Structure 1
Amino acid sequence: MKRANTYTAAVLALLLIVGSGCKESYFDINNNPNSATQSPAELVLPSALNATATYMNTSFAFLNLWMGYWNWSGNYSIGQQDKNYQFTTSFNNAIWNTAYTRLKDYNYVETQGKSRNQPYLQAIGKVMKAFHYQILVDTYGNVPYTSALQGLSNAQPAYDNGQAIYESLMVQLDSAQTLIQQGNTRVGNGETSLGIGNNDVMFKGDMGKWARFTNTLKLKMLLRQSEKSDRQAYIQTQLAKLKASTAGFLRAGENASVNPGYINSDNRQSPFYGTFGYGVNGATVENYNLYRANKYAVDFYRTTNDDRIGFFYAPVAGTANFVATNFGTVNPLVNSQTSGLGSGVLVSASQDAVVLSSHEALFLQAEAAQRGWISGSAQTLYESAITESYRNLGVEDDQGTAAQYAQAYYSQAINNVGWTASTNKIQAIITQKWASLNGFSPFEAWSDYRRLGLPAVPISQEPSTTIKQIPVRLLYPQTEYSYNSTNVAAQGTVSQFTSKIFWEN
């Protein structure tokens, strides 16, 4: 969520034309999953990437609550189902519906890239489809896949097994790498018509970064399955392919982030900033006032002497103190007594919208190295990930750089902070990964918690919380029960507490 470099006015103007009149954002091109996309694939791509970034930055606020980052404000009366996990099929339907709209867009990019012999476009379409399908599987388990994205020709698609979808996505990501290599060969031979250029608002046409992003997604999907004994042989087979790849993984300084030219204007602000921070007039938006700091995270940062506390959160007005309450507390404090979101996550209206941060990528690599899955020093990757988190938050001043502050932090002889002082290295990696994902990716933190039970995030204190457990999934949306009833009913009775995703223990 670092401040973005100014993007070209020409690209911004082009995106404005493409997105004119659409409700989701001024960059969105199509919200109807059953209608044909008419825009050129090159113009669908930036709009779709921006919409993906908006999706990742704004759709999972409830997970910031569940994962110990945020709590509800005492200024508001909050419904019980938003505090006791007892939600219904109407809960956050947009997570499902918006994902399938995005998948339609990327499917169009992929198919148009193939028909026009544009391997880079085709590859990006494949990668981003895999990105969204993984989130769907991680959230719901079995979902429509092989018969999805067919519009009115199949408006009631059957569901596929989540594990089978994962395995298919790995094949698609391998195919994307092959397409990138084919494109690189053609460019190396002098072909000039393949470049994505300014239409790629994530990596600015750098296909090396796309290749590293692809491998990072593959590694993430394999790590999801780390605790399943029956998946170990499959994991090793896939790791052999990763080790054979020369692309590597996302590195320090390589955030997968989107910025088509965010500015402080109506419907043009960076999505996280505009949704959880400030309006164009500089006043706080309602969500800023609704979400406050969570005591679990504040206590962790404070007791480990972590300078990031002042960047994830703002001190109580008129003080230098960080004050918070636990999720679901019966005694919430009003906003004048609690901390809001901080300057490290609310940088400016033009800040980048992070899809997958460089520090998350490095923590993934640190865990894989510690497990012996990839080469490299787990300690070096772990410390580099912490450093990158400090850098992405802007933890620096005239007294020191982000690297210096990070080194002072991870050099402490504190369990789950200093490498040598940490008795369980995987626990240290996941704990520090959790500490870095505050606001950036609560979805990833939730996934790690479901996989490993780390860290020990407290259950809601709401008295009506009869099942003392953070949900393992979401329920299928009401839209499926209304319009695809036969196929969703075939999934049986679904519980947010017991109907686990295939990779969960």
Structure 2
Amino acid sequence: MKNIIKFLFLTIILTSCEEDLNINTDPNTPIGVDKSFVLTAAQASIATTMGGNLTNLGGFLAQYHTQAPSASQYLDIDTYNMNADFANRMWTELYAGALNDLKYVKQVSEDEGDTGSYLIATLLEAYTFQVLTDLFGSVPYSEALLSQENISPAPDAGEEIYPALISSIDNALTNYDNSPVDSSVGSQDVIYNANMSDWIKFANTLKLKMYLRMAYTTLANPTAVNALLAENNFLESDATFSVYSENIEEDKNNPFYDVQIAHLGDVNNIASSSLLQFYTDNSDPRIDAVYRKNTATPSVHRAIDQGDRGAYTGSILATAFSRPNIKTNTPVYLMTVSESNFLQAEALIRYAGGAGAGAKYNAGVLNSFLTYGLTAAEANALTNTGGAYEYVPSATVETAIRQVMVQKWASLAYINNMEAFFELTRTKYPEIVAFGTQNYSIGNLIISKSSVLAGGQTPKTLLYPDDEVDRNINLTQKGSLTEKIWWDQK
């Protein structure tokens, strides 16, 4: 899908250049390219990265899947041994692809007075930069995307990027409020069809997510969070990129499906006991939405402990285990209503005395079930009094937050795997414990049994891509995967 969109984009650029090029025109800035197509290309780049490489990476780190014993494609992730070339593709896709495209959309929208499209591009830009700084820490931001003006942009600290992103969102919202021009991109906005009400809800939810990411830092801002809670204008529909084909067609399917299932043969990713056993022990019907049963007769759900390939012979194929239930046309989710509900529940617990948190928690579970195609009755059976997921108010903030975060982790499987990893890294819920002490039924993760890291450490970041380090004299490679991201202060 992404390649088709970019082919269309390139065709438009070449046509424009052939018709309009003259010696007074900068050939690096195509004139007359419809910004709506460029916006679609940017959204496709984000979806390809979030739904492809980062779904795979996050699935290992959040312990939704582990490496099948009979294959070895992703041993570097499962053993916590990712090297400096691991992130080359995703870095390039987000910077050279999505962010460059969004910069163009913003420039054209500003020139045209299209405050709606400018807001959409600003929100997607903020979303993308947040993912980058959450993954890598300090990244180029203020000096980024300047092309030949600065080919070695210095990185900005994450604690400086976050406030700048929030400020950019607020400025774009103010500009739209002062001059409310609805976006002209129409259906080329694959996520919300240029519905500005939905994008404003996205803006508020994204800001809430960013404020809560800073909850354990000196940048925590209860006043700003409570203002958002008082406004109460958050996501009411999932933010999805959902234009994938039901048929098996190269570059037209969900990016995880396209690579892991169609191209690599579905031989690598099998269920981790951390999540599958949690679902099983709690009789959670999401198990069948998240995983496919094995191919035994009769078929059953089966998992292995994270990284425990040594317990099995290499002849045991992936088909002997449960595997991710990603289909050709599974959407890529940027944010969901369920995630928004859990963010609000945490905010109410942390900054508003907890009143109303239980209702938001229940809504988070309910909307998770609905996103997976299950029913309200199935969700309510677990959250009602006496149910396995009944919310129990607590005067201890962390005790209450743990309930929210465990359910958030259970709700993000193959919805947004990287967000699950970021949140368990930030809050330490579910807890990562030594193997043999885990209780999967309450939500525990283990240190991968294949880990090469000493002292029970786990990855907190990625190394900078070597392609960028080699080119950028201002970017120094970090020391290890265990360096903490700035908001990881609990």
Deviation at 1:80, TM superposition (A): 5.0
Partner residue, 2:258: 274
Which consecutive unaligned segments of at least 5 residues does structure 1 have?
1-10, 23-33, 188-193, 280-284, 396-401
Are residues 307 and 157 of structure 1, via their aligned partners in 2, closer, same or farther at CA, if it must alter by over 3 Å? same
Secondary structure of residue in 2 paired with 1:292: strand
CA deviation profile, 1:25-51 (whole Å, cap 9, x unmatched): xxxxxxxxx954553212101121122
Secondary structure of residue in 1 paired with 2:250: coil
Partner residue, 1:293: 271
1:55 paired to 2:40: no
**Maintained 8 Å contact 2:67/2:268:** yes
Partner residue, 2:137: 141
Partner residue, 2:191: 202
Distance of 1:212 and 1:159 partners within structure 2: 30
**Maintained 8 Å contact 2:242/2:330:** yes
Distance of 1:146 and 1:410 partners within structure 2: 45
2:298 paired residue among 305, 308, 319: 319
Distance of 2:423 and 2:219 partners within structure 1: 17
Partner residue, 2:241: 258
Partner residue, 1:331: 311
TM-score (norm 1): 0.82
Are residues 274 and 493 of structure 1, via their aligned partners in 2, closer, same or farther at CA, if it must alter by over 3 Å? closer
Partner residue, 1:18: 8
Aligned residues: 451
1:171 paired to 2:161: no
**Maintained 8 Å contact 2:105/2:118:** yes
Partner residue, 2:40: 46
Deviation at 1:95, TM superposition (A): 2.6
Secondary structure of residue in 2 paired with 1:257: strand
**Maintained 8 Å contact 1:362/1:381:** yes
Residue identity over aligned pairs, in percent, reads 25
**Maintained 8 Å contact 1:122/1:179:** no
Secondary structure of residue in 2 paired with 1:289: coil
1:84 paired to 2:79: yes
Secondary structure of residue in 1 paired with 2:324: coil
Q: How does 1:205-220 map to 2 (within 5 A)?
A: 205-220=194-209
Q: How does 1:58-457 map to 2 (within 5 A)?
A: 58-60=52-54, 61-78=56-73, 81-101=76-96, 102-184=98-180, 186=181, 194-228=183-217, 230-232=218-220, 235-239=221-225, 241-243=227-229, 245=231, 248-251=233-236, 254-260=237-243, 262-264=245-247, 265-277=249-261, 279=262, 285-286=263-264, 288-317=266-295, 318-329=297-308, 330-332=310-312, 333-342=316-325, 345-346=326-327, 349-373=328-352, 377-395=356-374, 402-411=375-384, 413=386, 417-420=389-392, 424-456=399-431, 457=445
- 1:227 counterpart letter in structure 2: Y
Are residues 427 and 335 of structure 1, via their aligned partners in 2, closer, same or farther at CA, if it must alter by over 3 Å? same
Deviation at 1:323, TM superposition (A): 0.6
- 1:488 counterpart letter in structure 2: L
Partner residue, 2:472: 484
**Maintained 8 Å contact 2:127/2:206:** yes
Are residues 269 and 178 of structure 1, via their aligned partners in 2, closer, same or farther at CA, if it must alter by over 3 Å? same
Deviation at 1:373, TM superposition (A): 4.8
**Maintained 8 Å contact 2:114/2:184:** no
- 2:420 counterpart letter in structure 1: A
Distance of 1:19 and 1:412 partners within structure 2: 54
Deviation at 1:259, TM superposition (A): 2.9
Partner residue, 2:440: none
Deviation at 1:79, TM superposition (A): 6.6
Secondary structure of residue in 1 paired with 2:334: strand
Which consecutive unaligned segments of at least 5 residues does structure 2 have?
13-26, 432-444
Partner residue, 2:434: none
**Maintained 8 Å contact 2:162/2:210:** yes
Deviation at 1:320, TM superposition (A): 4.1
Deviation at 1:362, TM superposition (A): 1.5
Distance of 2:69 and 2:372 partners within structure 1: 27
Distance of 2:75 and 2:49 partners within structure 1: 25
Are residues 79 and 140 of structure 1, via their aligned partners in 2, closer, same or farther at CA, if it must alter by over 3 Å? closer
More moved, 450-459 vs 368-377? 368-377
TM-score (norm 2): 0.85
- 2:472 counterpart letter in structure 1: N
- 1:407 counterpart letter in structure 2: N
Deviation at 1:209, TM superposition (A): 0.5
* RMSD over aligned Cα atoms: 2.8
